[in-house]
Amino acid sequence: MKTYRKELWFNTPTRRAFINITPQVTDCVRDSGIQEGMVLVNAMHITASVFINDDESGLHQDYEDWLERLAPHEPISQYRHNRTGEDNGDAHLKRQIMGREVLVAITQGKLDVGPWEQIFYGEFDGRRRKRVLVKIIGE
Ligand code: ZN
């Protein structure tokens, strides 16, 4: 069995962002040389997500609006977590609902995904360096 590990780094200029990381994950699969296996892609921070959905700007705005209704950033005093002096209580909740990781099959050296499935990094407390782990196992 072969293994491959890589960290993808991000530093978004905005507090919240969605970034399509399918090209980077595709590069990792190619570089791993693995033909049959699995790739795990997970955020390594508790205020960011990795998820799969459509690369469609209206949907991304819908996520932004929906997440802000569920867990508005302001007022920051509404979150007990922020009593620690942080201001990212909302980002922890947003990360929870959008998920930590995705697991994708690799078949014949390629991501075995549906026609509209794209892998995204979801940032909810950006403007600092954060990373995503890509771990591939197979043969
Ligand atoms: Zn926090």
Extents of the domains making up the chain: 2-138
Calculate how far, in angstroms, residue 61's C-alpha sits from the geometric centre of ligand 1: 24
Whole-structure pTM value = 0.96
Calculate how far, in angstroms, residue 91's C-alpha sits from the geometric centre of ligand 1: 7
Calculate how far, in angstroms, residue 87's C-alpha sits from the geometric centre of ligand 1: 7
Confidence of residue 86 (pLDDT cuts 50, 70, 90): very high
Using N-to-C axis directions, what is the helix angle for 89-98 and 57-70, rounded to 10°? 130
Predicted local distance difference test score (pLDDT) of residue 126: 98
What sign for the dihedral angle of Cα 67, 70, 71, 72? positive
Q: What is the mean pLDDT of residues 12-24?
A: 98
Phi/psi for 38 (5° steps) reads -140, 145
Calculate how far, in angstroms, residue 86's C-alpha sits from the geometric centre of ligand 1: 6
Calculate how far, in angstroms, residue 89's C-alpha sits from the geometric centre of ligand 1: 6
Measure the CA–CA gap between 100 and 91, rounded to whole angstroms.
Answer: 13
Confidence of residue 72 (pLDDT cuts 50, 70, 90): very high
Predicted local distance difference test score (pLDDT) of residue 97: 98
Max Cα separation, the chain?
51
Q: Report the CATH architecture of 2-138.
A: Sandwich (2.60)
Percent of the chain scoring above 90 in pLDDT: 100
